[in-house]
Amino acid sequence: MKQPAILMRHLLAVLLAFNLFTYAPVTAQQNGNTVVDTNLLSNLQYRMAGPFRGGRSTAVSGRPGAPFSFLMGTTGGGLWESTDAGGSWQNISDGFFGGGIGAVAVSEADPNVIYVGTGSADPRGNISQGRGIWKSTDGGKSWKFSGLPEAGQIGKIRIHPKDPDLVYVAALGHIFGPNPERGVYRSRDGGATWEAVLQVSDQTGAVSLIINPSNPRVLYAGMWRAERKPWSMISGSEDGGVYRSIDGGDTWAKLAGGLPTGLTGKIGLTLSPANPDRVWAIIEAEPAGGVYRSDDAGKTWTRINKENKLRQRAWYYTHMVADPQDENTVYALNTGLYRSVDGGKNYEGIPVPHGDVHDLWINPDNPKVMIVADDGGAQVTLNGGKTWSTYLNQPTAEIYGVVVDNGLPYRLYGAQQDNTTISIPAWSSNNTLHAKQHWYSVGGCETGPVALDPNNPNIVYAGCYGGVMDKYDLAKDQVNNIMAYPQLQLGEAAKNLKYRFQWVSPMAVSPHDSEVIYHGSQHVHQSKDGGKTWRVISPDLSTNTPEHLDYSGGPINHDITGVEIYNVVFEIVPDPNEAETIWAGTDDGRLHITRNDGANWQEITPPAMPKYGTVNKIDLSTHQAGRAFVAVHKYRFDDFAPYIFMTNDYGKSWKRITSGKNGIPADYPVRVVREDPERKGLLYAGTEFGLFVSFDEGAHWQPMQGDLPITPITDLRVHQGDLVMSTQGRSFWILDDLSPIREMSDDLAEKQVYLFEMRPAFKVNDGGAGFLGDNAPTARPSGALIHYALQDSIEGDVRIEVIDADARLVQVFSSDSLTAKQHKTAQLKPKEGLNRINWDLTYEGPTLMDGTIVWGYTGGVKAPPGTYDIRLTYGDEILTQQVEVEEDPRIAEEIDEADYEEQLRLGLEIRDAISAVHESVQEIRSVKEQISWMKGQTEDQEVNTAADSILQELTALEEQLIQTKNESNQDPIRFAPRLDNQLVENYNYVTGADGYISGGREGRPNAAAYERWTDLDEAWTDLEQKVEASLSESVRTFNELVRKKNIIGIKRKATKS
């Protein structure tokens, strides 16, 4: 847990009214049962919007024989690999598995064999449930499920040093309830089958496991009872302790010989490879807890350290790792990384980039090479901890929720666990030097949440645990804590608090009056003056169950941060249609509504609400007053069923729309549901293991995963036609343009080809041409998105044309490679199901010769605002849609229609001139090649003399048209530009993309552009005439000469009139 922190940045946002971005909903099937073709959903393309700021990791490993290769298991984002010592990271589990990773093991005997255990054994309250073991035999390129689906949280995996098929797993089990599948498991056949070799009870599992590398038949296991309740973290029992096997796991004995007796909690174990008889155990116990060491392979033990700094918050840390070469060096992992060089007696801290350390791997061949896992991801050191790689290159942030503003670009706001609140743009402009220049904190802390003032884009409200609420003024870069009641909650029982503010206490701003804000404890708190004064407007809306309000923790230690504060209001939603209507849900299964600003509250809990279920999100429909959808989860009671409820009458009646049999699997907890604001009954649901959609008001659900990684989805927003989401382990993601989703229906399966309606496209500067550097979010596809669907196998060419209002062909896209090359567009790669391309809102650019080197913009001419036809041809099918290209609303008042048209006219003129110059050069070179070839075929002196003369004449003209000496990108610095590059420079000035160095503005070019074009046009006209004269007269004279000698004459590619 980080201390509350504020990272302030000076950055002014441009925010606009939402109605600038709305458009009419498409006509689509809205009634009845709708299940669309799965291929339409499987090809969806999502993009990661950032941040690259590492989230929690509790498992890391290196690779034997590969000193710069490392693996990182994250607590929600799957498995990652670095091959450059932490300089960069790539996910290697996407497409196979994801979510929380608790253990990673690479075989020493065969480094291509990797085992991964899901579910972390350092179990925060928002932990993701583990779902078994995965195995790779090709170094992580592909994976297969390897069993133990009910083992819950996997603490460690150990592989026999000489046999990659002999593997042991420490399974902690389900963290939210008892289950029999826990303890130590063994596989002798590479994970094909498993046998439980050490089991204590259905509440006590294995958290740590070590194997003697010199005698692999000797193993040690730490057994721990760990169970979470929403109101407590139970750590410890009398049947926990250290166990040893000396026969490869066949039998086990609980060790004593000086170890704590009675209640023991979490246990971390390590063994010195340099002296395998030396074993350390760090044990949670009171008063006997601390670091214990055995020098006789576990027969006897001595407590050698009892400092609290090594064993604070034991359930969250408690790990030790021995140096592989020095028997006196050992590391303890806690809030920091601690090293002992005297056998474990005394420890010094080693600075690490983040803190809250959970795992450490040390290279057995070079102990100065290490990788650490902490609440900021993973970092690598090559010099024993003097310096570390960064965690600002890992898009694995755990984000609690997301809200969005109405700017251009709109911004995403959320709170990252173990970091800060953060605001990032949905996309970056061409003028962005690095994506991070637009990221900033907005007050509050790691928990959030964040709420926005709808009328003032500079005002942001952000929360923190303990009831903190900050009011952040972006313009002034000032934070004011306006919390309703400043009582320190850390370490205190909930029953002793006046107001129970949970770790993530809900907050909201009224959409009707931005001075009215809300905050939730067990009550709903309201301020009508922006946080200056507060009043309680509700009774205790929770069950207020006494046994839920005691000290969290036990039976050994208390642990009270706010995570386990229970019986609280967990969601507050002011009704956008009625100023005095407020909806509130609690984390213990109650739902209330007030229709008179809190004067009276009515309980509207659905009859089918699971007891103590958490009302996680309430979504109020834009289509009908009193219509709402509620996402409820109960996984914190070991119930993983999906719960979504719907009402159309303010909660008088409810319908559960997730049965576990209608699309969302029975063991996929739901965290959020949102109804599409444009299409009634179109629902999006974020679950623990992916995204789902319903086209029929929840009667059926279908996966909407596409290429979205498997990760817990914590929140969703439908905004400006996009689907925005926060995740617990993969930062923010966006699905650009929901238009095709809104239009989908079950009858599309009958159509061979289908072209979807298009949303308006804005002429904004979003190409991302600046130096974004490493670790930049995925760029938004710029311009207009064109979606089309194909059924069955693809036969023949797919051709898409953009046509303007004057019937001019603007752009051509084709699956035929020659056609695509001719029109200078990327070749279409159509596939069965949904396809997407983007038109970048330009006309076709100039035609340049292959290998041309010029400095400046040579893309397309900017298209003015207006209506454009999109025509798709596939076989005998010709389909047409229209797209409105709209001006950038930020500059709309500065430019009129005539300005845009004039920019197009001049841009096309210059474009055509550039193309004509290169066509002329191609003509010149064609003639020169023929003449040169002819010289090599004859010894006739008269012919060769004439040939030399015309070659010299044409070369002189060519060298005025282009710089023939340019061979590499930097050559334009050495050699003077010729006509073509001068034209390109002016073309760039008139219509080029905004961005680095230079670029054309929007609208009518200025006087300098016309002046320069006049000069260049005159120069080109003069040279064009000279080229034509040379090619006409000189070639004609030369041909007359050679034909008299019975030699075939020169042929021109084209004849100009």
Q: Using CA atoms, how far apart are residues 164 and 753, in angstroms rounded to an integer?
A: 50
Q: Which value, in Å, is the radius of gyration of the alpha carbons in the chain?
A: 34
Residues in contact with 221: Cβ distance below 8 Å, sequence separation at least 6, in sequence order:
170, 184, 198, 206, 208, 209, 242, 243, 244, 245, 252, 269
Q: Using CA atoms, how far apart are residues 881 and 753, in angstroms rounded to an integer?
A: 13
Residue 1054, pLDDT score: 53
Q: Which helix (H) or strand (E) holds 814?
A: strand 809-814
- Other Cβ atoms less than 10 A from the Cβ of 286: the count is 16
CATH of the domain at 129: 2.130.10.10
Which of the 8 DSSP states describes residue 728? B
Q: Using CA atoms, how far apart are residues 848 and 858, in angstroms rounded to an integer?
A: 9
750 in a structural domain: no
- Other Cβ atoms less than 10 A from the Cβ of 39: the count is 17
Distance, first Cα to last Cα, the chain: 79
Residue whose pair of structure tokens reads 């790691």 in the numeric block: 446
701 in a structural domain: no
Three-state DSSP state, 433: coil
The per-residue b/e assignment along 586-608, b for 16 or more CB within 10 angstroms, e otherwise, is bbbbbbbbbeebbeebeebbbee
431 in a structural domain: no
- Other Cβ atoms less than 10 A from the Cβ of 301: the count is 22
Adjacent-strand bridge partners of 145: 134
Residue 764 region by backbone torsions, left for phi larger than 0, else alpha for psi between -120 and 50, else beta? beta
pLDDT along the chain (1057 residues), means of 10: 35 33 37 80 96 97 96 98 98 97 98 98 94 98 98 98 99 98 99 99 99 98 98 97 99 98 98 98 98 99 98 98 99 99 99 97 98 99 98 97 96 97 90 76 97 96 98 96 96 97 98 98 99 99 98 95 97 97 99 98 99 99 98 98 99 98 98 99 98 98 97 98 98 98 92 96 72 73 95 88 98 96 93 96 95 92 97 96 96 92 96 98 95 90 94 97 96 96 94 58 91 98 96 92 90 61
Residue 999, pLDDT score: 57
319 in a structural domain: yes
Residue 993, pLDDT score: 62
Residues in contact with 353: Cβ distance below 8 Å, sequence separation at least 6, in sequence order:
376, 379, 388, 389, 390, 391
390 in a structural domain: no
Three-state DSSP state, 483: coil
Q: How many domains does the chain have?
A: 2
Q: What angle do CA 70, 72, 77 make, to 5 degrees?
A: 145
Which of 350, 381, 412 terminates a domain? The answer is 381
Which of 336, 365, 381 terminates a domain? The answer is 381
Q: Using CA atoms, how far apart are residues 981 and 266, in angstroms rounded to an integer?
A: 71
Nearest to 152, CA basis, from 119, 191, 105 = 119
Which of 357, 381, 405 terminates a domain? The answer is 381
Domain span at residue 1003 reads: 784-1044
Rounded to whole angstroms, what are the CA distances from 351 to 60, 257, 319, 354, 388?
18, 35, 17, 9, 9
Q: Using CA atoms, how far apart are residues 166 and 158, in angstroms rounded to an integer?
A: 9
Q: Using CA atoms, how far apart are residues 1019 and 961, in angstroms rounded to an integer?
A: 10
Extract the tokens encoding 333: 């992992």
Q: Using CA atoms, how far apart are residues 1056 and 280, in angstroms rounded to an integer?
A: 90
Extract the tokens encoding 620: 């109020």
Q: Using CA atoms, how far apart are residues 379 and 377, in angstroms rounded to an integer?
A: 7
CATH of the domain at 1013: 2.60.40.1930
pTM for this prediction: 0.94
**Cα dihedral value 708, 710, 714, 719, nearest 10:** 10
- Other Cβ atoms less than 10 A from the Cβ of 952: the count is 9
**Cα dihedral value 968, 973, 977, 981, nearest 10:** 60
Adjacent-strand bridge partners of 787: 836
Q: Which helix (H) or strand (E) holds 934?
A: helix 897-935
Q: Using CA atoms, how far apart are residues 14 and 598, in angstroms rounded to an integer?
A: 35
Q: What phi, psi does 244 have (nearest 5°)? A: -135, 145
Q: What angle do CA 363, 365, 371 make, to 5 degrees?
A: 10
Residue 704, pLDDT score: 98
526 in a structural domain: no
745 in a structural domain: no
738 in a structural domain: no
Residue whose pair of structure tokens reads 């006049």 in the numeric block: 1014
Residue 444 region by backbone torsions, left for phi larger than 0, else alpha for psi between -120 and 50, else beta? left
